[in-house]
A and B are shown apart, each in its own frame.
Chain A
Amino acid sequence: DARVTQTPRHKVTEMGQEVTMRCQPILGHNTVFWYRQTMMQGLELLAYFRNRAPLDDSGMPKDRFSAEMPDATLATLKIQPSEPRDSAVYFCASGLGQGVLETQYFGPGTRLLVL
């Protein structure tokens, strides 16, 4: 049963600390998305990769957030320094890159609390 995996599932940290979230996309998928979910804003796209190349990170605060794909099996989202307003659930999703026919499959999320 192929699934997107994310680690950690939960993270509590103090303001100013670095946070790294990891995602393993479904094997064979070549698109990866990072979303943030909050009660106020719902699901927001932060970054999008295709074939490990970043294609859109316009939704991501550039000064503190960074997203990378060191290899095809790992995507990372880093926040440095973290702030209380970054508290949210961060989801990774992957897809087959089929254009308009593509569907995105979500991981279980990382629940981040910044104190």
Chain B
Amino acid sequence: GQQLNQSPQSMFIQEGEDVSMNCTSSSIFNTWLWYKQDPGEGPVLLIALYKAGELTSNGRLTAQFGITRKDSFLNISASIPSDVGIYFCAGRRPGGYNKLIFGAGTRLAVHP
């Protein structure tokens, strides 16, 4: 089962609104990744974070590696209908080779 707490589980917003979601863990991570999954497809990498405090943007998406190394945040600004999907955080623990631990996902719905 998951060892990451991802919230919220789901969001229903109006087009143009900003979105925030986060993942927390009881243990530290040395990598945080954010993926998006469209229906019927595999997860697609959005942003990768490798250092505590790192803030990285990809278009309208911005993600941050928490300073405590136990959390990460993803923000989407000015949402559009194609942002609909499930967003997953994934983390890699020190000594965990390449193994990723995934959150349960945040399901995003955008109303035009």
A interface residues, Cβ below 8 angstroms from B: 4, 31, 33, 41-43, 45, 48, 50, 55-56, 91, 93, 95, 97, 99-109
Contact = CB atoms under 8 A, between A and B. Distances in A.
B5 to A, nearest CB: 12
Contacts of A97: 98
Interface string B65-83: 0000000000000000000
Interface of B: 1-2, 30-31, 33, 35, 40-45, 48, 50, 88, 92, 97-100, 102-105
B54 to A, nearest CB: 13
Given A31-B98, A95-B98, A100-B30, A107 B104 contact: no
Contacts of B35: 106
Of the candidates A31, A43, A50, the one having the most CB atoms from chain B within 10 angstroms of its own CB is A43
A101 B41 contact: no
Nearest to B44: A106
B85 to A, nearest CB: 13
10 contacts: A31-B98, A33-B98, A42-B1, A42-B105, A95-B98, A99-B97, A99-B98, A100-B50, A101-B31, A101-B50
B42 A43 contact: no
Contact of A48 (B30, B98, B102): B98
B2 A42 contact: yes
Interface majority SS on B: helix, strand, loop or mixed? loop
A18 B23 CA distance: 38
A34 to B, nearest CB: 12
Contact of A107 (B31, B42, B88): B42
Contact of A43 (B30, B31, B88, B97): B88
Given A100-B30, A100-B50, A100-B92, A56 B99 contact: yes
Contacts of B104: 42
Contacts of B42: 4, 91, 93, 106-109
A109 B41 contact: yes
